Structure 1
Amino acid sequence: QIVDRIKELPKKATIYLYAPVVRGRKGEYKKEILNYKKRGFRKIKIDETLYDIENVPELNKKVKHDISILVDRIVLNSSLGNRLAEGIETAVNLANGLIFVEYEDETLPKKFRKIEKLIFSTKFACPESGFTIEEIEPRLFSFNSPFGACEECEGIGVKLNVDPNLVIPNERKSIADGAIEPWAKTTTLYYAQTLASLAKHYDFSLDEKWNKLSKKIKDVILYGSDDEEIKFSYDDGYEKYSHKKTFEGVINNLERRYLETDSDWKREEIAQYQSDTKCERCNGYRLKDEALCVKIDGLHISEVTQKSILDAAEWFKNLNNKLDKRQIKIAEHILKEINE
């Protein structure tokens, strides 16, 4: 059906098949983008801007992003063969059943042309948000099943992240005295000179105790300068040089190096500054989005199972007063078993 609908577009139209792999989610997605690069994709659209996958800008992990992989660029004509169908199959496999199609009607004069966008899904889906859900079945509600487990934490409920309390174990130390432990241990001058440039730009002292620094300065050091560019000056013993750039932050630096390195000892070194934190995707409930979106009387399965036995029994008894006739008919045998 998707192939047939696309073939109805104006002849000789150039169409772009996109797999929307991220929609309105926060993160840097370095690992994911690297994976798409390894799989041979060359173009990627991030927040409506198309990039060569080799030259993707650093993403702000605190900002929501839309990321789509350009799967193929096709001119509609009679010699398509299986290329269109294969491109669609690749896109829906990448994006969990969703595909964006952009096209321009080249039969129109240039001044009247505009990019048109179509959204298709092979599953039950919201065309605006792209959220899809497969057939609801018992395995969807089990975090021990790959069909139900949160895709971010793999059903564990927590993720291993760099912990600021381990990065700054002693807040009474100054930066000059080694408050930022992972950077203080290194023998290279690069990190010391980076911090000196930050101190000059934001007008703070490296001799000030960490607990005396303002929240703004602490956030910049740990999480980065966002879009603000800073002049960094370095001296490697052979030459002096400087350049302006944004600062990624100590925590982001450690997380990036942990993901990018192939060295086991480097991973072990960085791992000592990591701890388990509640998964932001599932909020510690361990289930994927689709399972947590299925609710009865406003509660999903994990919220019900967290109730005490007495509270849960009361909740099930009161359901008959909350459900309509059709819902009661569907649930009557299950509710009877539970309540008896």
Structure 2
Amino acid sequence: MSEPKVIRVTGACEHNLKNIDIDIPRDQLVVVTGLSGSGKSSLAFDTIYAEGQRKYVESLSAYARQFLEQMQKPHIEHIEGLPPTIAIEQRSASSNPRSTVATTTEIYDYCRLLFARAGTPHCWVCKKVISSQHASQIVDSILARPADTRIQICAPIIRGQKGEHKEVFVHIQREGFVRVRVDDEIYDAKSAPSLDKNKKHDIAAVVDRLVLKDGIRIRLADSIETALKMGDGVVNVMIQEPDGQKNNGGEGHWHDVLYSEKYACNDHPEASLAELSPRLFSFNSPYGACRACDGLGTILEFDPDLIVSDKNISLENGAVEAWRKGGKRMNIYYNRLIKRFCRYFGIRKSDPFSSIPAAVRKILMYGTTEKDAKKYGHRFEGVIPNLVHRWKNTTSEFVKARLHSYLSESPCARCGGTRLRQEATAVTIGKKSISTVTGMSIEEAHDYFQSLKLDTEKTLIAAQPHIDHKLQTGANFFQRLGGDQ
């Protein structure tokens, strides 16, 4: 018996179908269209799909049927030529700004593994290849700082991990350390704070506190070696420069310098990597994401073209739209501010905005620099700094919504839209960073992975979990699929 060429439905009465007889061609793309309520879904899903599923389930054993949903028999007289059916649920598409083709297809996961295991890190300041630092090199770098510099040598034990970490505090005390640094605050080890187990924390043992002076090298070297051992090859040095101590009564600002036995630049100690791990290359991880844009690649900024949408309007007639739509008191305040601005910088408030010199327009938008203040003899906050201040400090949802209309997305200036920290983009394979590779077209990425040449050690590392094979296979698949089209 030959295979039927149609699905023949006779006497379909499901829902609002009125005794429908229809032949639907098989092995073809068939579109069911019609007015709302005409019975499209009743025919396609509640009749054809339901009967196909029901008959398929009936063909299975009683044991298998108990695990499957049983569908009701639709109201039809007869249906023939019906194969087993499937239906795809319709859902509204959700736009996730953190999803890309590479992350969705998991190709990016293999890219992260490849760069973490076979990448060559560079200093993001001077672009030189960086290598591991020995304890003696770390000591030399610290001693190169001015005399009387205060330092605190810390051994990082917990870095960005959730938990209460009570056992860590016990371990630090057993090792003989009397101070501990928890989330950038110094505590006595015996009175360490209770931590929220649902939040991420940083914990370090304070190994030593020193003032740089002659004869300190041996003690410093011992403390650095102890910290490196306890911190798994990483030591964090808190530094307070002598100038900061004098200007602030001995309580100047401290800043951190991270040293690592693994990767660091000799000329720029701040360009250090604690480790090359896959999470460093993830813009969905706080360790890999750009600090400025949080891994989105774009930031919301006040847009001068939205603030002054009509360049032909004068300042007195409300060219600065964001300052025009306030309450009565706010309008009076901003009108006085504009009058002072025009008087300070030698322009007429009746002139169209477009006729104001570019240098003065820039001051109006962004405020005076030190150079501007000396030239004109006056200071001005600027429209955009004023709006930023209001945006950050207002508690009114209405004001927030109104100010939001003057914001626009622009590429993040810090990461250049790569979404990643500078430490991650400074790691290369074949002179390409991971952001450059993921920005390639499918064809370019295919050629890159095919032509990739690694030294013997890195080839073995990349081949161990079949990273290189997975990437080439993925690129081949998308090229055949027509992903560039």
TM tier, shorter chain? Answer: 0.5 to 0.7
Amino acid across the alignment from 1:143: F
* Number of the residue aligned with 2:285: 145
Structure 1 Cα separation of the partners of residues 440 and 258 of structure 2: 37
Instruction: Specify whether residues 263 and 197 from structure 1 end up closer, same or farther in structure 2 by C-alpha distance, changes over 3 A only.
Output: same
Q: How does 1:149-164 map to 2 (within 5 A)?
A: 149-164=289-304
| Structure 2: tracts of 5 or more residues without a match | 1-134, 154-183, 187-208, 213-226, 228-234, 244-253, 474-485
Following TM superposition, by how much is the alpha carbon of 1:304 offset from its aligned partner in structure 2, in angstroms? 0.6
- 2:378 and 2:150 mapped to 1: Cα distance? 33
Q: Where does residue 258 of structure 2 map in the other structure?
A: 121
Match of 2:348 in 1: 205
For 1:99, the equivalent position in structure 2 comes to: 238
TM-score normalised by L of structure 1: 0.60
Which residue in 2 is equivalent to 1:288?
A: 421
Could you tell which deviates more after superposition, 263-272 or 198-207?
263-272
| 8 Å CA contact 2:150, 2:242 repeated in 1 | yes
CA deviation after TM superposition for structure 1 residue 314, in Å:
0.9
Cα RMSD for the two superposed structures: 4.1
One-letter amino acid of the counterpart of residue 258, structure 2: S
Shift, 1:317, TM fit: 1.9
**Are the counterparts in 2 of residues 101 and 119 from structure 1 also a CA contact under 8 Å?**
no
Q: Which amino acid aligns with 1:223?
A: Y
CA 16–204 in structure 1, closer or farther in 2 if over 3 Å, else same: same
Structure 1 contact 16–101 (Cα < 8 Å) conserved: yes
Structure 2: distance between partners of 1:193 and 1:231: 22
Cα shift at 1:231: 12
Per the TM alignment, residue 181 of structure 1 is displaced from its structure 2 partner at its CA by 0.5
Contact 1:102 1:118 in 2 (8 A): no
Distance 2:257 2:277 in 1: 24
Deviation at 1:122, TM superposition (A): 4.5
Q: Could you list the per-position Cα deviations for residues 181-221 of structure 1 after superposition, in whole angstroms to 9, with x for gaps in the alignment?
A: 01122333222222222222222221111122221121010
Q: Structure 2 counterpart of 1:191, which letter? A: Y
| 1:295 partner SS | strand
- CA distance change for structure 1 residues 319 and 231 in 2, over 3 Å: closer, same or farther? closer
Unaligned runs of 5+ in 1: 20-38, 42-72, 77-87, 89-95, 105-116, 233-243
Residue aligning to 1:229: 373
Taking a change above 3 Å as real, the CA distance of residues 133 and 220 of structure 1, as seen in their structure-2 partners, is: same
- What is the Cα deviation at residue 292 of structure 1? 1.2
* Distance across 2 between alignment mates of 1:145 and 1:194: 44
Q: 1:14 to 1:296 in 2, by over 3 A?
A: closer
Name the CA distance, whole Å, in 2 between partners of 1:266 and 1:118. Answer: 37
Farther-moved stretch of structure 1 (144-153 vs 326-335): 326-335
Q: Partner of 1:169 in structure 2?
A: 309
Q: Could you list the per-position Cα deviations for residues 149-186 of structure 1 after superposition, in whole angstroms to 9, with x for gaps in the alignment?
A: 22211111111211112111111211111110011223
- Aligned pair count reads 245
Quick check: 1:319 aligned with 2:452? yes
Contact 2:151 2:237 in 1 (8 A): no
Alpha-carbon distance between aligned partners in 1 of 2:284 and 2:333, rounded to the nearest angstrom: 45
- In 1, are the aligned partners of 2:257 and 2:269 still within 8 Å (CA)? no
Which amino acid in 1 is paired with 2:315?
I
Match of 1:135 in 2: 275
Distance 1:149 1:75 in 2: 35
1:252 is aligned to 2:252: no
How much does 1:274 deviate? 1.3
Percent of paired sites with the same residue: 32
Distance in 1, matches of 2:352 and 2:407, equals 23
Contact 1:230 1:247 in 2 (8 A): no
When normalised by structure 2's length, the TM-score is 0.43
Task: Write the distance in 1 (CA, Å) between the matches of 2:255 and 2:443.
Answer: 50
Letter in 2 for 1:212: S
Q: Classify 1:15/1:165 alpha carbon distance in 2 versus 1 (closer, same or farther; 3 Å).
A: same
Residues 119 and 276 (structure 1), Cα distance of their counterparts in 2 relative to 1, 3 Å cut: closer
The reply on whether 1:196 has 2:339 as its aligned counterpart is yes
- The one-letter amino acid paired with 1:278 is P
Q: For 2:432, what is the secondary structure of its paired residue?
A: coil
- Farther off after superposition, 257-266 or 151-160: 257-266
Aligned 8 A contact 2:344 2:378 in 1: no
SS at match of 1:177: coil
- Cα distance change on mapping 1:268 and 1:74 into 2, 3 Å: farther
Contact 2:151 2:211 in 1 (8 A): no
Structure 1 residue 18, shift from structure 2 partner = 8.9
1:305 is the counterpart of 2:435: no
Q: Aligned-pair distance for 1:245?
A: 4.8
| In 1: Cα distance, 2:369 partner to 2:292 partner | 24
1:220/1:150 CA distance change after superposition, 3 Å:
same
